[in-house]
Structure 1
Amino acid sequence: MKRGCPMATYLKRQVIRIIAFIVLLIIYLINSRQLTTATGYAKSNPGLATKYIGIMLMTMAVILALFAWLYRRQLQQGNPHHFKKRPFTTKSILQLFGFFIGMLAVQVLWSQLIVHHILPMPTNQSEVNAQALQLPFWNNFYSVVAAPVFEEFIFRGFFFNFFFAKNNRWSVFFGILISGCIFGFLHTLSFSVTTLFYSGLGWILAGCYLHFKDIRYDMALHFMNNLWSIL
């Protein structure tokens, strides 16, 4: 019996993984779009806005259950990086704050470049701020609580399980590099200097994930970063 071409099999598997990754991303974007729709009706039709909020919360619960189940299933099938729940200790919490300080340093540097008119203000940040004013509680809730969970599952958890599962130097290096670049691009939907800013934050988050090997640390770091940005 003839065996299939290894290269063809590999390419087919990668295409399936890319499609699966895109589908998971679309699921998350649909949920966030429900909040955008609710925000659009916040002033003109509060009742309809409330209905969309309810739909968003129900959808969020279903997606969270789906993502958590799929992530655990992936790790059960193959886990060369040895990702798992690890206890929070004084040392690990201090290290987590070290990553947080790194993210703050990137943002402070970037803000100074903007203040001194060396770099432009990110257009998407202005849009986010304007949207938050229409429906402040739910937009801030989504930004601080929901987005960190969903984005860490997608850009770190699923991404490394799909494409960079091997536990070696080059897999780790390119995994962090590409994960951050995708994270940056999807926050700007363009290739600009601002993309580099978000990519830098993505690289720190990816480094955090591979350092602690526990996605809860990454979610906590993302949570702290987003909370700081609205304070």
Structure 2
Amino acid sequence: MIHYLTRQTGRILGFILLLIAYLINSSELSLATKYAKTNPALANRAIGVMLITVAVLLVGFTWFYKRQLKRNNPRQFGHYKLTIRRLSRVLFAFFIMLVVQIFWSQLILHHILPMPSNQSALDSQIQLLPFWNNVYGVLIAPVFEEYLFRGFFFNFFFAKNTRWSNLLGVIVSGLIFGYMHTLSFSVTTLLYASLGWVLAGSYLYFKDIRYNIALHFLNNLWSII
């Protein structure tokens, strides 16, 4: 019992540290955005630090993820060849995510639900520093978030390949994903949580995090088109 609690505590702390590393990296972009108009030199330095940090974290996250799979991988996560069937399933998952967002946007348009506050903040950041915020949101954030909320999360807390472990893992992963995008529990949290549930289900189905990254990339790209 003590060994189990110690191990789980270590996993929770490890996940928190990885999450903090990602949040620190994204805060460097926020700093650059804040000073983009008033102090371009400081903004450029912040972007430089952000890019270096991105490179270091991507190498570290990838190495750690592969190391975990070598130690314990009952679901046989790995690299699987892209086929027509897999591509069609990715596009179907993307379609589901679009339906969720279109439905939600209609609720906002008809004043049934409020505009997500984090979306308004994101739009403001993009206006101040469009190129780097779009690059980060479309290309970088999906990689970090898939490693965190699907790769590391399932390996840390729901490693057993059972029906209940998979179901509970999908539900909890989606809820945490939703909460991290709103930083509060609200109706809007369910929007992001539902997208997280699709991504978590896709991770278990494809068993290849690269498909998840591509799906997340498509979703974020669509949001800025």
1:215 pairs, out of 198, 209, 216, with: 209
Q: Encode CA deviations 1:191-230: one digit per residue, 9 max, x unaligned.
A: 1000011000000000000000000000000000000000
Residue 164 of structure 2, aligned match among 159, 164, 170: 170
Tell which structure's C-alpha radius of gyration is larger. Answer: 1
Which one of 27, 33, 42 corresponds to residue 21 of structure 2?
27
Whether 1:155 aligns to 2:155 is: no
Is residue 136 from structure 1 mapped to residue 133 from structure 2 by the alignment?
A: no
Counterpart-to-counterpart distance in 1, 2:41 and 2:9: 43
Q: How far apart, in 2, do the equivalents of 1:85 and 1:141 lie?
A: 25
Deviations along 1:75-112, whole A, 9 cap, x unmatched?
00010010000001111001000000000000000001
Match of residue 57, structure 2, among 63, 70, 75: 63
CA-based RMSD of the aligned residues comes to 0.4
Aligned to 1:108: 102
Distance 1:56 1:121 in 2: 29
Q: Residues 152-186 of structure 1, C-alpha deviation per residue, up to 9 Å, x if partnerless?
A: 00000000000001101000000000000000001
Whether 2:126 is the aligned partner of 1:127: answer no
Q: Distance in 1 between matches of 2:113 and 2:192?
A: 14
**Which AA in structure 2 matches 1:150?**
F
**1:11 CA drift (Å):** 1.2
Q: TM-score, normalised by structure 1?
A: 0.97
Task: Tell me how far apart the structure 2 counterparts of residues 56 and 217 of structure 1 sit (CA, whole Å).
Answer: 25
Residue aligning to 1:9? 3
Aligned to 1:3: none
Alignment partner, residue 92 of structure 1: 86
Counterpart Cα distance in 2 of 1:48 and 1:121:
32
Equivalent residue, structure 2, for 1:4:
none
Shift of 1:9: 1.2
Q: TM-score, normalised by structure 2?
A: 0.99
In the alignment, what sits opposite 1:46? 40
Structure 1, unpaired ranges of 5+: 1-6
Amino acid at match of 1:228: W
Structure 1 stretches of 4+ moved >2 Å: none
In the TM superposition, what whole-angstrom CA distance separates every residue of 1:119-149 from its partner, at most 9, and x where no partner exists? 1110000000000000000000000000000
**Structure 2: gaps of 5 or more residues:** none
Q: CA deviation at 1:12?
A: 1.2
